[in-house]
Copies of this chain bind each other. A is one copy, B any other.
Amino acid sequence: MNAHYYGLILAGGRGTRFWPRSRRRWAKQVLNVVGDRSLIQATVDRLKPVIAPERIWILTNDHLRDAIIRQLPEVPKRQVLAEPVQRNTAAAIGLAAHILGSVDRDAVMGVFPSDHVVGKPAPYRAVLRAAFRGAAEGHLMVVGIKPRWPETGYGYVEFPRGSKPGTLAPVPVKRFREKPALAKARRYVAAGNFYWNSGMFFWRTDVLLDELRRHLPKTATMLASLPRFGARTFPEKLKQAFPLCDNISIDYAVLEKAGNVSGIPAGDFEWNDVGSWDAVYELLPHDTCGNVAARESVCLDAFNNFVDARGKTVALVGVKDLIVVDTPDALLVASRARAQKVGDVVKLLEKQKREELL
């Protein structure tokens, strides 16, 4: 059997928790919040040894398409698509499956978030290859990650009891578990067979489209109505059909209902979903006072702070556990413990119609 590996990178999010650096036209995934490369550049760098860049496709929105094309010259421009409206992952992934299936009957697609970080790329890629192999055999494949703490912000994948991390063969998934409360998350971690749901999925396009027809018939019909990708009428037809697709995640729509889901229970390849400035703080090297700040900063009696203020000297005096992010028109000062609430600032600015800050 022939199997050609394709990558679909989902890059339509706004990353409001990374305001004020993350804006509509300059969102989290195109920012270099960790290191010199943007998150989406690092994603492509990581995938390239497994998936040739000419087989990488990206789904984003109109605001970000130009920035992404500029940042990723190795990805063919026509493969960077803007969704006509924002829909959840089922429609986006279905659209990509429809297109890839039409350009290559042997397409096996891996779906990747554009804004994750991986500390150990080699074991990560071994997991990817294993997941692709399982997908080529016809499985719907997910990747579970051995939890390092009882995180309440992630969904969990339950494998059969005794499943060991590092197994590079498909293991049937027992059940998907929604984001748990802390007590439940602790039980999951203690049990040993619950893994973080990494948000990466692998399947043959025909297998996925079959599942969509079964579980999400309206979306499947809409996608089937599209002309071939590249046809002159494609963009116009997409603009009409896409808003009519169900606004639902692939997890709810397909994975939790399908019977044939398997996964790789992966060990820790230092995966991080970089969900907030506090996650960035944890990822970057700290100075002896626990601060993450440029060398030209001045810290007097200041501990465990995160500072991102390019081209500006920042002085911290007698403060701890703060997030300080400066941009030319907006400045954020937040407690690290409330890093998740930064998105609420964006909601408020939207309510106030302060477009220039969004």
Q: Chain A: residues with CB nearer than 8 A to chain B? A: 19-20, 296, 298, 300-301, 309, 312-319, 322, 324, 326, 328-335, 337-338, 341-342, 344-345, 348-349, 354, 357
Contact = CB atoms under 8 A, between A and B. Distances in A.
> DSSP class of A's interface residues: helix, strand, loop or mixed?
mixed
B317 A348 contact: no
A296 B331 CA distance: 12
Q: Which of A317, A328, A349, A357 has the most CB of B within 10 A?
A: A317
Contacts of A316: 333-334
A314 B325 CA distance: 10
Given A298-B349, A300-B344, A318 B334 contact: yes
A330 B342 contact: no
A307 to B, nearest CB: 8
B332 A315 contact: yes
B345 A301 contact: no
B331 A317 contact: no
B345 A317 contact: yes
Contacts of A337: 318
Given A300-B338, A313-B331, A318-B337, 10 more contacts: A300-B345, A301-B341, A309-B331, A313-B354, A316-B334, A317-B342, A318-B338, A319-B322, A319-B333, A322-B333
Chain copies in complex: 2
A313 B324 CA distance: 13
A112 to B, nearest CB: 30
A330 B313 CA distance: 5
A357 to B, nearest CB: 6
Nearest to A345: B315
A298 B345 contact: yes
B330 A317 contact: no
Contacts of A354: 296, 313
8 contacts: A20-B313, A300-B348, A315-B342, A317-B338, A317-B341, A317-B344, A324-B333, A331-B331
A296 B330 CA distance: 11
A333 B315 contact: yes
A158 to B, nearest CB: 34
B319 A334 contact: yes
Given A300-B348, A313-B331, A331-B313, A341 B326 contact: no
A317 B337 CA distance: 10
B357 A331 contact: no
A39 to B, nearest CB: 22
Contacts of A348: 298, 300
A315 B330 contact: yes
The 3 closest A-B pairs by CB, nearest first: A318-B338, A317-B334, A318-B335
Contacts of A328: 312
A317 B332 contact: yes
A292 to B, nearest CB: 14
A20 B298 CA distance: 12
Q: Which of A296, A315, A324 has the most CB of B within 10 A?
A: A315
A310 B335 CA distance: 22
Contacts of A345: 298, 300, 315, 317
A20 B326 CA distance: 15
Contact of A20 (B315, B329, B342): B315
B319 A331 contact: no
A330 B344 contact: no
Contact of A314 (B296, B319, B330, B344): B330
